[in-house]
């Protein structure tokens, strides 16, 4: 289906502002939650998310529409370290690791990726990116229950009303409104929430108009760096998966042009900068990928606009408080659609690549990746838990390499 705005197309300011706001709303809750859990200033994270995204877009030559938000992979090891400046040193080391991998990819190319993650492995990995997030969205939407029946009713009305407005908007809106169903859904949900007393504007009134993010210097501690190191593998698998699914959505081979190496380099450099000033590590965001898939707006100018808005919010207390006043139930209703769309992108990948499930190797590979990715199975490396999409990707790579080696030996024997 033809995009409303392709990757290189630049919208007018009047159209671009609501489109960028849509991306900001999609990523805001998750990207602010990470620094909140780690007890650091969310404004610093927002600022470096915005700067990191603009840097990423520039270094990738404006060819990859990706937003960099706060990564959840580092929460457990940072909590175990209990010293955020020491963790910052680990974040910088993580960024340098990405720069090293980027250099390896630039030298040796990406042919290995086609062998390590063939469509039979990559399709379920992409689907799992959305599927493992759906329970989170269901919890936000109140679909998994709450102890207060009266509150539960209000949450369900809000979340399901938001879901209905978003779905109907995506299906029936025409013209410009067809590109902003999420903004329309959020506004509708906010109105429903306000009518039921779920909106609290007191913090908006109390918040200052201008505030400066808090910065801190890193400490380089070998123990902290080693504790954080396993999380780098999780984010690496996530990065590759997100790049592939983004390419499938926009209809371009982003792994080849501008290239996985350039994408990893840009992500790594943004993380070095984040670690240097006291922000949380960045990663490409599934929420924003879902927005693109749903709206067919792929413009890097829109993503850049969202990054600029994030920087403005980082310095404006009232804007941050206003966005934070959006009830969780509203974002839960929106995320049900966004994460579902990402899951469908995995199915679409398998269909378009014509994966032959008559071949027992393809069938076994996809089945095993789904089983380990969705069963709750987990592997612990130090303070890092590898499960879900990350575990699925690692298992998919391992099995794909085993099958490739087996095919090579069989061919040699014959």
pLDDT digits (tens, 9 = 90+) for 17-58: 999 999 998 888 778 878 877 888 889 999 999 999 999 999
DSSP secondary structure of 88-114: HHHHHHHHHHHHHHHHHHHHH-SHHHH
pLDDT per residue as tens digits for the range 325-381: 888 898 889 888 888 887 887 888 888 778 999 999 999 999 999 999 898 888 877
CB 165 within 8 A of CB 188: yes
Reported as a pLDDT band with limits 50, 70 and 90, residue 414 is very low
Which 8-state DSSP code applies to residue 178?
G
The CA–CA distances, whole Å, from 399 to 11, 91, 358, 366 equal 44, 30, 18, 10
pLDDT value of position 23 = 92
pLDDT per residue as tens digits for the range 387-400: 887 788 888 888 98
Please indicate whether residue 195 or residue 173 has the higher confidence score (pLDDT). Answer: 195
Q: In terms of Cα–Cα distance, which of 372, 303, 310, 312 is closest to 9?
A: 303
Which 8-state DSSP code applies to residue 70?
E
Residue 412 predicted with pLDDT over 50: no
pLDDT value of position 411 = 40
**What φ, ψ does residue 84 adopt, rounded to 5°?**
-65, -40
pLDDT per residue as tens digits for the range 49-90: 999 999 999 999 999 999 999 887 787 678 778 889 999 999
pLDDT value of position 317 = 87
Residue 175's region, left for phi above 0, alpha for psi from -120 to 50, else beta, is left
CB 19 within 8 A of CB 252: no
pLDDT value of position 36 = 74
Query: CB-based contacts of 244: which residues, under 8 Å, 6+ apart?
Result: 117, 122, 126, 254, 255, 349
pLDDT per residue as tens digits for the range 267-280: 999 999 999 999 99
Q: Alpha-carbon distance 59 to 54, whole Å?
A: 9
**What φ, ψ does residue 221 adopt, rounded to 5°?**
-125, 125
CA angle 285, 291, 293 (to 5 degrees): 105
The CA–CA distances, whole Å, from 316 to 47, 190, 196, 208 equal 11, 21, 28, 7
pLDDT value of position 30 = 77
Q: Give the H or E element holding residue 199.
A: none
Q: In terms of Cα–Cα distance, which of 275, 242, 252, 243 is closest to 93?
A: 275
pLDDT value of position 127 = 85
pLDDT per residue as tens digits for the range 245-268: 899 889 998 988 999 999 999 999
Which 8-state DSSP code applies to residue 4?
S
pLDDT per residue as tens digits for the range 284-298: 988 888 889 888 899
pLDDT value of position 146 = 60
Residue 211 predicted with pLDDT over 60: yes
Q: Alpha-carbon distance 329 to 319, whole Å?
A: 20
Q: Give the H or E element holding residue 189.
A: helix 181-195
* Residue 246 burial (CB count, 10 A): 26
Q: Alpha-carbon distance 10 to 265, whole Å?
A: 25
pLDDT per residue as tens digits for the range 214-230: 899 999 988 888 888 87
Residue 231 predicted with pLDDT over 50: yes
pLDDT per residue as tens digits for the range 126-180: 788 788 878 888 988 888 866 677 788 889 999 999 999 999 988 888 878 878 8
Which 8-state DSSP code applies to residue 257?
I
pLDDT per residue as tens digits for the range 96-131: 999 999 998 988 887 777 787 788 988 888 788 788
């Amino acid at each position: 289906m033809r995009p409303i705005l392709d990757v290189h197309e630049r919208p007018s300011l009047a159209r671009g502002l609501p489109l960028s706001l849509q991306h900001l709303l999609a990523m805001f809750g998750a990207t602010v939650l990470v620094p909140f859990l780690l007890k650091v200033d969310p404004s610093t994270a927002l600022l470096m998310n915005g700067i990191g995204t603009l840097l990423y877009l520039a270094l990738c030559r404006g060819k990859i529409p990706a937003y960099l938000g706060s990564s959840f992979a580092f929460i457990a090891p940072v909590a175990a370290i209990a010293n955020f400046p020491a963790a910052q040193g680990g974040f910088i080391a993580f960024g340098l690791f990405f720069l090293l991998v980027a250099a390896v990819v630039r030298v040796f190319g990406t042919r290995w990726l086609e062998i390590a993650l063939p469509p039979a492995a990559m399709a379920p990995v992409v689907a799992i990116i959305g599927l493992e997030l759906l329970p989170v969205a269901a919890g936000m939407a109140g679909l998994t229950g709450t102890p207060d029946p009266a509150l539960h009713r209000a949450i369900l009305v809000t979340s399901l009303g938001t879901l209905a407005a978003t779905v109907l908007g995506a299906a029936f809106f025409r013209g410009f409104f067809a590109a902003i169903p999420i903004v329309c859904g959020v506004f509708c949900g906010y109105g429903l929430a306000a009518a039921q007393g779920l909106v609290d504007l007191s913090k908006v009134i109390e918040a200052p108009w201008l505030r400066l993010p808090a910065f801190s210097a890193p400490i380089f501690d070998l123990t902290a760096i080693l504790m954080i190191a396993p999380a780098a593998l999780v984010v690496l698998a996530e990065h590759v998966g997100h790049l592939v699914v983004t390419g499938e959505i926009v209809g371009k081979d982003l792994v080849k042009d501008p290239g996985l190496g350039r994408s990893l380099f840009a992500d790594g450099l943004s993380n070095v900068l984040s670690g240097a000033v006291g922000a949380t590590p960045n990663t490409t965001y599934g929420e924003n990928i879902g927005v693109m898939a749903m709206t067919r707006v792929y413009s890097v100018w829109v993503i850049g606009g969202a990054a600029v808005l994030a920087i403005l919010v980082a310095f404006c207390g009232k804007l941050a408080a206003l966005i934070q006043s959006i009830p969780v139930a509203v974002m839960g209703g929106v995320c049900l659609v966004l994460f579902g769309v990402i899951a469908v992108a995995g199915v679409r990948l398998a269909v378009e690549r014509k994966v032959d499930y008559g071949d027992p190797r393809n069938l076994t590979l996809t089945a095993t990746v789904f089983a380990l990715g969705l069963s709750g199975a987990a592997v612990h490396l130090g303070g890092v838990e590898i499960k879900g999409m990350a575990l699925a990707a690692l298992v998919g790579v391992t099995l794909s390499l085993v099958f490739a080696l087996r095919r090579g030996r069989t061919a040699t024997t014959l």
